[in-house]
A and B are shown apart, each in its own frame.
Chain A
Amino acid sequence: AQSVAQPEDQVNVAEGNPLTVKCTYSVSGNPYLFWYVQYPNRGLQFLLKYITGDNLVKGSYGFEAEFNKSQTSFHLKKPSALVSDSALYFCAVRGDTGGFKTIFGAGTRLFVKA
């Protein structure tokens, strides 16, 4: 069975500081990993993905994520946070064997303070 853990319900960071939102996963086979963001009263938006290749992937709005196979982690990062980054962030995973479903983590609420 596949699963995703986001250990932090909330992350607080000051504007201009780097941010990290943590994610670990469990999946059969090779993982397909994703980050999505949900702004208040808006739908989910894709940020970035890792399927294969470089462990550091870059995505929208200056976000990046690092795939670590040994630690089964896929942490989301940004070098300098903006107040407008405040939102709900979801890590998601699917395996490359068996079903094709994508499973989402519990979500981490990011607050960026001016």
Chain B
Amino acid sequence: SAVISQKPSRDICQRGTSLTIQCQVDSQVTMMFWYRQQPGQSLTLIATANQGSEATYESGFVIDKFPISRPNLTFSTLTVSNMSPEDSSIYLCSARERNEKLFFGSGTQLSVL
């Protein structure tokens, strides 16, 4: 399977600041996804990121708060803007292989003080 390198693995941030999470895939993929997960709980889809088009956001998530870039077929970033403690979570990027499998980055554990 392909491999996603995600960074940072964790960060502690101050309220009101922004954090950009990067994901690098070792092969070209058409579709990438960003999820949020509270420890031990389910994954909530934030947005779908396709190369060459704007990201598609799920209900409850907006571009101003979670801007996403997808400059090419191997890279994507998610920015968590103007952070508040409610944004504390694990953020996961994923990509879909041609055989429909999703593979995931190792996650970014974000704590907002």
- Residues of chain A at the chain B interface (Cβ within 8 Å): 32, 34, 36, 42-44, 46, 49, 51, 88, 90, 92, 99-107, 109
Could you say which residues of chain A place their CB within 8 Å of the CB of B103?
Answer: 46
Could you say which residues of chain A place their CB within 8 Å of the CB of B56?
Answer: 99
Inter-chain residue pair count (beta carbon < 8 A): 52
With A44-B92, A107-B40 already in contact, the answer to whether A32 and B48 are too (CB < 8 A) is no
SS class, residues of chain B in contact with chain A: strand
B102 lies within 8 A of A90 (CB): no
B40 lies within 8 A of A90 (CB): no
In this complex, how many residues of chain B approach chain A with their Cβ under 8 Å: the count is 24
B48 lies within 8 A of A46 (CB): no
In chain B between 49 and 87, which residues have their CB closer than 8 angstroms to a CB of chain A? 56, 58
Other-chain residue from A32, A34, A90, A102 in contact with B42 (beta carbon distance below 8 A): A90
- What's the minimum C-beta distance from B87 to chain A, rounded to whole angstroms? 20
25 pairs, CB–CB < 8 Å, chain A vs chain B:
A34-B101, A36-B102, A43-B104, A43-B106, A44-B43, A44-B92, A44-B102, A44-B104, A46-B1, A49-B99, A49-B101, A92-B102, A99-B48, A100-B31, A100-B96, A101-B45, A101-B48, A102-B33, A102-B45, A102-B96, A102-B102, A103-B45, A104-B35, A105-B42, A106-B41
| Closest residue on chain A to residue B30 by CB atoms | A100
B102 lies within 8 A of A34 (CB): yes
In chain B between 14 and 34, which residues have their CB closer than 8 angstroms to a CB of chain A? 31, 33
Other-chain residue from B42, B99, B105 in contact with A107 (beta carbon distance below 8 A): B42
A46 lies within 8 A of B106 (CB): no
